[in-house]
């Protein structure tokens, strides 16, 4: 069995990577009795986490096939990515040497270039003893396979939502166009500065577009539910160059 550990920024990233793993033949594990015992040490045993009643329980999502067992872990933000890797390896104890792949996924965002973001993460990984390739989106194979992928394409500024909008343009073109029209119209409304605070962020507009699409497809539920349940990653979306590169990275990292 090949054991892989993937850490991402948030729950939408977990759903996105998880959907790609499902396309590659891994099934999502829901019942603990179905989970490979290897991962038991990383499952929280106390509630609430850190005494915070409002904090999400930091349990990874698990995906499994006859040959691979993969944990996809939300770090709760970019600043926690490498710390989460370090904490999980510590929890695994001697078993950590049985992990065959470690991957880190994050947004380029808008204020830091993708290359600079990669340099920051690479330095942090080296600090905890994990060498990685010299470029994002490339797998370093030194026995333990490691790699960093920066959304949307390892080069451009942006976030996972850029990939989601591209997928929507491929499989839900009319819905995506309507969501863009709604967002443009809503931006002209007389709203307070506080009302517009999130929209005014660099990624605010595209987040509104993607959220609007997801809300129509899966009303009242979070975007990650729509990613898991709807056709974002299907048909022509899988032919996109950006999705092809991400799938190629994942398949190389996990040796699928």
- Tens of pLDDT, residue by residue over 188-203, are 999 999 999 999 999 9
Domain shared by 30 and 126, yes or no: yes
- Tens of pLDDT, residue by residue over 85-101, are 999 999 999 999 999 99
Q: What is the pLDDT of residue 45?
A: 87
Q: At what angle do helices 204-217 and 173-186 cross, to 10 degrees?
A: 130
User: Which 3 state secondary structure label does DSSP give 231?
Assistant: coil
Domain shared by 167 and 121, yes or no: no
Tell me the C-alpha distance between 18 and 26, whole Å: 9
CATH code: domain of residue 125: 3.40.50
Domain shared by 38 and 138, yes or no: yes
Domain shared by 41 and 96, yes or no: yes
Give the domain range for residue 168.
Answer: 160-236
| For residue 57, cis peptide bond before it (omega within 30 degrees of 0) | no
- Tens of pLDDT, residue by residue over 28-64, are 999 999 999 999 999 998 888 888 888 888 899 999 9
Q: Which two tokens stand for residue 19?
A: 């959907």
Domain shared by 54 and 180, yes or no: no
Domain shared by 129 and 232, yes or no: no
Domain shared by 142 and 171, yes or no: no
Question: Beta strand pairing status for 68-74 and 99-107?
Answer: unpaired
* Token pair 């595209």 in the structure block, residue: 206
pTM of the model: 0.96
Q: Where are the alpha helices (DSSP H) in the chain?
A: 11-23, 81-92, 114-127, 160-171, 173-186, 204-217, 223-229, 241-254
Domain shared by 168 and 229, yes or no: yes
Domain shared by 198 and 82, yes or no: no
Domain shared by 129 and 214, yes or no: no
Domain shared by 94 and 31, yes or no: yes
- Helix (H), strand (E) at residue 107: strand 99-107
Whose CA is closest to 223, among 234, 212, 236? 212
Domain shared by 58 and 38, yes or no: yes
Residue numbers of the chain with a pLDDT score lower than 70: none
Instruction: Provide the number of structural domains found in the chain.
Output: 2
């Amino acid at each position: 069995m090949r054991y892989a550990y993937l850490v991402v920024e948030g729950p939408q990233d977990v759903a996105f990577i998880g959907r790609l793993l499902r396309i590659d033949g891994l099934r999502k594990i829901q019942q603990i009795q179905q989970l490979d015992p290897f991962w038991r040490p990383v499952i929280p045993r106390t509630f609430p986490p850190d005494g915070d009643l409002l904090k999400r329980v930091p349990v990874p999502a698990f995906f499994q096939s006859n040959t691979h067992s993969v944990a996809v872990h939300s770090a709760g933000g970019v600043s926690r990515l490498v710390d989460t890797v370090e904490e999980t390896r510590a929890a695994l104890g001697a078993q950590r040497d049985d992990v065959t792949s470690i991957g880190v996924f994050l947004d380029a965002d808008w204020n830091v270039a993708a290359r600079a973001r990669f340099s920051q993460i690479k330095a942090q990984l080296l600090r905890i003893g994990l060498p990685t390739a010299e470029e994002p989106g490339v797998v370093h194979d030194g026995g333990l396979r490691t790699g960093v992928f920066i959304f949307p394409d390892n080069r451009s500024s942006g976030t996972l939502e850029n990939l989601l909008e591209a997928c929507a343009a491929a499989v839900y073109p009319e819905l995506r166009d309507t969501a863009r029209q709604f967002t443009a119209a809503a931006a002209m409304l007389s709203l307070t500065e506080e009302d517009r605070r999130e929209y005014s962020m660099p990624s605010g507009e595209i987040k509104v577009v993607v959220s609007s699409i997801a809300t129509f497809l899966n009303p009242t539920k979070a975007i990650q539910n729509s990613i898991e349940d709807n056709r974002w990653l299907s048909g022509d979306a899988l032919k996109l160059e950006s999705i092809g590169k991400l799938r190629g990275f994942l398949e190389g990292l996990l040796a699928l």
